[in-house]
Amino acid sequence: MTWAMRKGFAVYPRTISWIAISVGGLAMFLIFGSWFLVSYPLGSIMRGYFYGVNSSKDLDFVISLGNQNATVLAHDSNLDLVPKKFPSDEVIVDKKIESESNPPPQSSSNRPANDESSNVIDKDLLPKSKSPDAMISSSQSVPENKEKRDEGTIPSVVSSKESKDGIDTSKSENAEAGGSVSKGSISNSSDTDMGSKNPDPLPTNGSTASDLGCDLYHGTWVYDSAGPLYKNNSCPVLSQMQNCQGNGRPDKEYENWRWKPSQCNLPRFDPKKFLKLMNGKTLAFIGDSVARNQMESLLCILWQVEVPKNRGNKKMQRYYFRSTSVMIVRIWSSWLVKQTNEPLDFAQDGVVKLHLDAPDDHFMEFVPNFDVIVMSSGHWFAKQSVYVLNNEIVGGQLWWPDKSRRMKVNNIEAFQISVETILTALATSPNYTGLTIVRSYSPDHYEGGAWNTGGSCTGKDRPLAPGERVENKFTNIMHDKQLSGFNAAIKKLKNKSRLVLMDITEAFEYRHDGHPGPYRNTDPNKLTKRGPDGKPPPQDCLHWCMPGPVDTWNELVLDIIRRDFEGNQHFSS
């Protein structure tokens, strides 16, 4: 052994110093490694590895932050941290995915209910057993018109057990209550004081709704001084067209009106409770741009407690909340049924053919991975398309070149068929055991004409009172056709999934103040008032401002999920 000696110092073997250096280095390594494991859980890293990370290419998603544009780089297109593997991304989800990019909406106002060629809305339009008390018999169907809806309960929650065994409980739930309303609980909204500024106290958290006797969809809009759950400049995924404050809308009162059911309180959305209930699960919004509107509302609310990771790819938008492994998904599907463009019989190449008897295969492959699906559709049935049943052309919208042939199916009938088709596909899919929430038809508020013929919602700054609401015949018939499709589907329920009708149509007919109107962009020179000739500026009276009434949809979704999961031990947290 070599000794190092120096006058005035103790004698140490040279190797001891190297030992000290090694021990120090090891200590530093352990400290750094512990910090790394805490910050980036090994389980997530390994899942990402085993779920097929084979590309370093990032996808860009352009979003808006207040009035500024920002670009968020997505993670690898194949990466999925939810413990369910999605198929590889070799197929690109439609060119349609953002052909939804915000052209002007169309109107359903002042239209004949059976008009086959009228333009309605918008080019912008994207466990598993339940306790008997939470079930109804599939033989009980949703009433198919408003008069019937007001006379009694509207059952909406159906399980395969009921469908198979014919269980008929005495506590049949109302459709609007998401499976927790007892018979005779409906209260006519005309009896309420719509637009009251002296509401009953509104709950800020928890649930005060009686699960046995609360009809969530008949009530009143009340003013809540607490304000919205987020601000327009506190959510980076808010589409600019729905950023009404960022686009210069001068009034803000529309943000403060909250929905108050007649017989109970609808709790304010609790983001932490939502993430806890959905722990390890996936919620998917599937549909048109109104579905996107609702998805962004949910993300904006959740963003206030946790910033999600963007896991989006070419097939879908995906946002992952690391703390609870919750994934929020959005898939664009404008009609929810299969689309083709190839020539068929006397329909030329290029025009969209809708196979009304086949679900959209762009998203059906993912359905087994979803625990909750929120469906949205209807407005694209105003657009040009050809209707096909059994590979035979049976009708069309804004298309019927051969007048000598009889059209068998118009656009509103096609909508009903499409609803039955997609819900039946979900109700019979052998590998789907989730909760499907069918959000009913979202009303628009073009007054005085269609979107391109002078229709307007300019200057509307508070909800309508009961005596002020004007019946929209087209909205009503689309709503009733949707209910007919829902009723037909629940009778075919075979798997362990559940179907719930979230019937928002009537309540939201009062919210003509909640649309962007002319405040659709940041252009400082945009027209916001009628011109000298009385003509209104271009505007959007279909989509919803954010924050705004659309946030109520997610409060309802949370209440439906809570009631479903709490009656389902596999889902309780």
Give catalytic status of residue 289 as yes or no.
yes
Q: Taking the CA of residue 11 as centre, how many other CA atoms within 13 Å lie in the half-sphere pointing to its CB?
A: 6
pLDDT bucket at 510, cuts 50 / 70 / 90: very high
Helix residue ranges per DSSP H, 472-549? 473-490, 505-508
pLDDT at 237: 95
SS3 call for 256: coil
Cα distance between residue 88 and residue 337, in whole Å: 22
SS3 call for 517: strand
243, 232 Cβ separation under 8 angstroms: yes
Beta strands in 377-517 (DSSP E): 385-389, 392-397, 435-439, 498-502
Active-site residue, selected from the candidate residues 77, 182, 289, 440:
289
pLDDT at 32: 67
- Please name the residue that has the structure tokens 């779920």: 51
pLDDT at 67: 32
> Does residue 419 have a pLDDT over 90?
yes
162, 135 Cβ separation under 8 angstroms: yes
> Does residue 90 have a pLDDT over 50?
no
Ranking 179-193, 197-211, 255-269, 285-299 by mean pLDDT, the lowest is: 179-193
Cis peptide before 547 (omega within 30 of 0): yes
- Looking at residue 215, its amino acid is D
Cα distance between residue 391 and residue 356, in whole Å: 10
> Helix, strand, coil: what percent of the chain each, to 5?
30, 15, 55
Mean pLDDT of the chain: 75
Ranking 180-189, 209-218, 319-328, 397-406 by mean pLDDT, the lowest is: 180-189
SS3 call for 345: coil
* Average pLDDT of span 374-403: 95
Q: SS3 for 361-377, per residue?
A: HHHHCCHHHCCEEEEEC
The residue among 467 and 224 whose pLDDT is bigger is: 224
Cα distance between residue 299 and residue 317, in whole Å: 12
pLDDT bucket at 415, cuts 50 / 70 / 90: very high
Active-site residue, selected from the candidate residues 543, 551, 559, 564:
543
> Does residue 200 have a pLDDT over 60?
no
> Does residue 161 have a pLDDT over 50?
no
SS3 call for 300: helix
> Does residue 31 have a pLDDT over 60?
yes
Tokens of 521: 């962009």
* Average pLDDT of span 477-494: 97
Chain segment 430-465, per-residue pLDDT in tens: 999 999 999 999 999 999 888 777 889 999 999 999
Q: Between the ranges 40-54, 108-122, 235-249, where is the mean pLDDT highest?
A: 235-249
pLDDT bucket at 530, cuts 50 / 70 / 90: confident
> Does residue 42 have a pLDDT over 50?
no
Q: How far is residue 464 from each of residues 26, 34, 74, 201, 555, measured CA to CA in Å? A: 70, 59, 42, 21, 21
Cα distance between residue 537 and residue 568, in whole Å: 50
Q: Which helix (H) or strand (E) holds 146?
A: helix 146-151
Cα distance between residue 423 and residue 337, in whole Å: 11
**Phi, psi (degrees; rounded to nearest 5) at 266:** -90, 115
Residues 6+ apart with CB under 8 A from 359: 336, 337, 338, 421, 422, 425
pLDDT at 20: 74
Nearest to 488 by CA among 477, 496, 480: 480
Chain segment 57-82, per-residue pLDDT in tens: 332 322 333 333 333 333 333 334 34
pLDDT at 91: 32
Chain segment 45-60, per-residue pLDDT in tens: 333 332 333 333 332 3
Angle between helix 289-303 and 550-566 (nearest 10): 80
The residue among 23 and 143 whose pLDDT is bigger is: 23
Cα distance between residue 562 and residue 567, in whole Å: 8
pLDDT at 315: 85
How far is CA 388 from its chain centroid? Answer: 27
Domain boundaries, the chain: 221-281+288-305+367-382+407-571
pLDDT at 34: 61
Which pairing describes strands 392-397 and 385-389: parallel, antiparallel, or unpaired? antiparallel
pLDDT bucket at 195, cuts 50 / 70 / 90: low
Q: What is the DSSP code string of 500-545?
A: EEE--HHHHTT-GGGS-BT--S--TT---S--TTSPPPP-BSSS--
> Does residue 154 have a pLDDT over 70?
no
415, 379 Cβ separation under 8 angstroms: no
pLDDT at 205: 39
% of the chain with per-residue pLDDT over 70:
64
% of the chain with per-residue pLDDT over 90:
55
pLDDT at 15: 67
pLDDT bucket at 402, cuts 50 / 70 / 90: confident
251, 297 Cβ separation under 8 angstroms: no
Cα distance between residue 502 and residue 556, in whole Å: 8
* Average pLDDT of span 139-144: 46
Nearest to 106 by CA among 88, 90, 125: 125
Chain segment 267-320, per-residue pLDDT in tens: 999 999 999 999 999 999 999 999 999 999 999 999 999 999 999 998 899 999
* Average pLDDT of span 381-388: 96
Active-site residue, selected from the candidate residues 89, 540, 551, 564:
540
pLDDT bucket at 213, cuts 50 / 70 / 90: low
Q: SS3 for 35-84, per residue?
A: HHHHHCCHHHHHHHHHCCCCCCCEEEEEEEECCEEEEEEEEECCCCCCCC
